[in-house]
């Protein structure tokens, strides 16, 4: 079995402050979690503060534009300069609340990689799409949007996060078996283009992951860690989730 990077990423969304950064730096030292990359995605103004703690950090999105007259946007190169090493691309809230299309997200993916950031491409279906049997169709479209425009080699230095929209912030979680089924589908889809890249591509699960369910989720053969929402705002809970990832390496 190919050894893939294990990643536990916390997405703070529009939450957090300097006090939370300090609480995290007290509770979590990356050296405690060998073989697991611990990443925090705070609001933009906190990126440099998180980077100073030694915890890997990233942005929740980046602009598809270069520097210029784009008020309110943040350039990928500046994010990297502040100490970030990752960027989320296409989180479901960006797709739904901000109407970000697959085409736009490909542009953001490119800007992230040009700046030296590792993009984490977020994919997932809504509840109605799942109920109508469209899960694989939706995810295939979202993944292929990047592969067909940029080539499969672009996934060599990236991560995919499967986050069923119906399980984000709802308390609902895909069962470990449901999550594994979709993760395998994603890996098999990438393998149609390149088997080696598919074998080494980290695929994370996101959707109401917490310290109670992380052990079972991370034990699945194609789940390489998690993209954590609400539980990432609680240092002790997040620490336990990181320990789950270590235990399942």
- Residues catalogued as catalytic: 91, 163
**Distances, alpha carbon 205 to alpha carbons 124, 162, 168, 220, in Å:** 10, 5, 11, 10
- What does the alpha-carbon distance between residue 100 and residue 93 come to, in Å, rounded to a whole number? 9
Contact 7, 225 (CB under 8 A): yes
Q: What DSSP designation does 19 have?
A: H
- C-alpha closest to that of 6 among 36, 39, 28: 36
**Distances, alpha carbon 191 to alpha carbons 97, 133, 218, 243, in Å:** 32, 22, 21, 30
**Distances, alpha carbon 222 to alpha carbons 8, 28, 81, 165, 166, in Å:** 14, 26, 33, 19, 21
What secondary structure does DSSP assign to 183-236, as a single string?
Answer: HHHHHHHHHTT-HHHHHH--EEE-SS--TTTHHHHHTSTT--EEEESGGGGSHH
CA angle 34, 109, 92 (to 5 degrees): 80
Q: 37: which 2 tokens?
A: 């990359």
Q: 24: which 2 tokens?
A: 């995290």
- What does the alpha-carbon distance between residue 237 and residue 12 come to, in Å, rounded to a whole number? 14
């Amino acid at each position: 079995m190919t050894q893939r990077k294990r990643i536990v990423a916390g997405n703070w969304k529009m939450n957090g402050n300097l006090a939370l950064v300090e609480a995290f730096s007290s509770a979590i030292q990356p050296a405690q979690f060998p073989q697991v990359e611990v990443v925090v995605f705070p609001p933009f103004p906190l990126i440099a503060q998180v980077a100073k703690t030694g915890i890997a950090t990233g942005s929740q999105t980046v602009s598809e534009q270069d520097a210029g007259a784009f008020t309110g946007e943040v350039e990928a190169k500046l994010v990297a300069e502040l100490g970030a090493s990752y960027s989320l691309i296409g989180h479901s809230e960006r797709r739904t609340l901000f109407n970000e299309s697959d085409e736009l997200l490909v542009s953001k993916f490119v800007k992230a990689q040009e700046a030296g950031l590792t993009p984490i491409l977020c994919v997932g279906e809504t509840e109605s799409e799942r109920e109508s049997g469209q899960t694989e169709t939706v995810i295939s479209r979202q993944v292929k949007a990047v592969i067909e425009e940029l080539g499969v080699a672009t996934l060599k230095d990236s991560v995919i996060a499967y986050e069923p929209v119906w399980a984000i912030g709802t308390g609902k979680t895909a069962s470990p078996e449901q999550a594994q089924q979709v993760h395998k589908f994603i890996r098999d889809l990438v393998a149609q283009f390149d088997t080696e890249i598919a074998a080494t591509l980290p695929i994370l699960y996101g959707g109401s992951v917490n310290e109670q369910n992380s052990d079972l989720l991370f034990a699945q053969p194609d789940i390489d860690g998690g993209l954590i929402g609400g539980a990432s705002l609680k240092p002790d809970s997040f620490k336990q989730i990181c320990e789950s990832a270590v235990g399942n390496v």
